[in-house]
Amino acid sequence: MLDEAIISLSGVTKRYGSFVAVDDLDLTVRPGEFLSFLGPSGCGKTTTLRMIAGFIRPDEGRIMLAGRDVTHLPPNRRDLSFVFQNYALWPHMTVAENIGFGLKLKGVSRPDIDRRVAEVLAMTDLSGLEPRFPRELSGGQQQRVAVARALALGRSVLLMDEPLSNLDRKLRIDMRKELKELQGRLNVTTIYVTHDQEEALSMSDRVAVMDRGRIVCLAAPEDVYRHPPNQFAAEFVGNVNFFEGTVEDAGDGRARFRSADGLAFEVTRAQVPEDGPVRLMIRPEWIELRPAGTSGLNTHPMQVDFMEYVGASRRISARTDTGRDLLIQMHDIAPARARVGDRLCFYVAPQNLVAVK
């Protein structure tokens, strides 16, 4: 286990007075992995990242980097580099000087610095911009220079704190693809902080969802979305309907679920571990509409209360005949069958009812 970890945190805690910003955190990061900390503002993402970097000293716990205890080492003695949210480029230095500065501090010779700077400029698609000052660059280019500077030292771990949050939406989407490709090509272990669930899901090998100083879910993106272990993680990565109710065995590896308001569903046995009280979730886009009067498995009547067109999809707020609210999302290419006030049926496939704590 330990040889497999390039970074490991055990029992890492940070307090500010009586407030616990990071709470007894354990985490293992594998070599070459892209791992994201995802969570709302104030949940402890930056504090955790800065403790790994060495800018903040934990009150308790241990941080290991490549098998070495670095808990008490300063940042420059840890084999990692950091990309800050505001880029923190030196305004009085050119692009080339910004990127080469760390190497200069290390006493690397001029020709070697020039060679390395040219290399990372090519990697980050910045060739030709060497003589410019940061103020002469667009936001996207500044962001690339910050990444190039971090890569110049050839460290084995890259830490990034919301590096795309200052860019507009279109550029953010281009840059996340670019960053992900670069990371994969260089195989540099990366910890990436973001509050944007789409960014975390699209870029990461694993996502650590954080809440109040703790990791409440750590899994591959599809598992975080489809099988979140708890309500907090489920809600943080997307819209969701929760059904409280009871599960009972139906034999033949099948199970039955009855919601508190009286709807019966067949569910996949493996996704509802125990009989008894349970909370199931259904993502809005996992629900299908059927004509009024349709009967059959997992199909129940409802009425459309509200519809919202959001470009790629339509969001429908509905109410079941048992009186509960339901959020449904349909691709815009789906025939627009529903109108406000319509009585319809909804259908959920058994594998799309998933237990969460």
Least distance to ligand ADP from the beta carbon of 35, Å?
A: 15
Residue in 8, 36, 46, 259 binding ligand ADP, rule: CB under 6 A:
46
* Residues 59-98 close enough to bind ligand ADP by CB under 6 A: none
Q: Which residues pair with 355 in a beta bridge?
A: 280
Binding marks (x or -) toward Mg ion, 6..35, rule CB under 5 A? Answer: ------------------------------
Residue in 43, 96, 278, 328 binding ligand ADP, rule: CB under 6 A:
43
* Residues 31-70 close enough to bind Mg ion by CB under 5 A: 46
Please give the backbone phi and psi of residue 334, each rounded to the nearest 5 degrees, phi first: -65, 140
Residue in 4, 11, 30, 42 binding ligand ADP, rule: CB under 6 A:
42
- Is 9 a binding residue for ligand ADP by CB under 6 A? The answer is no
Least distance to ligand ADP from the beta carbon of 153, Å?
A: 24
Query: Could you tell which of ligand ADP, Mg ion, none binds residue 47, using a CB distance below 5 to 8 A set by kind?
Result: ligand ADP
Contact between 151 and 188 (Cβ < 8 Å): yes
Least distance to Mg ion from the beta carbon of 46, Å?
A: 3
CA–CA dist 34, 190 (Å, integer): 5
CA–CA dist 212, 22 (Å, integer): 7
Q: How would you classify residue 237: left for phi > 0, otherwise alpha for psi between -120 and 50, otherwise beta?
A: alpha
How many positions of this chain bind ligand ADP (CB under 6 A)?
Answer: 10
With the C-alpha atoms ordered 213, 219, 224, 229, is the resulting torsion angle positive or negative? negative
Query: Could you tell which of ligand ADP, Mg ion, none binds residue 42, using a CB distance below 5 to 8 A set by kind?
Result: ligand ADP
Least distance to ligand ADP from the beta carbon of 114, Å?
A: 37
Tokens of 269: 């046995």
CA–CA dist 280, 247 (Å, integer): 10
Per-residue three-class SS string for 96-157: HHHHHHHHHHCCCCHHHHHHHHHHHHHHCCCCCCCCCCHHHCCHHHHHHHHHHHHHHCCCCE
Q: Which is nearer to ligand ADP, 23 or 97 (CB)?
A: 23
Least distance to Mg ion from the beta carbon of 204, Å?
A: 17
CA–CA dist 213, 198 (Å, integer): 21
Q: Using CB under 6 A as the criterion, which residues of the chain lie in contact with ligand ADP when the complex forms?
A: 16, 21, 39, 41-47
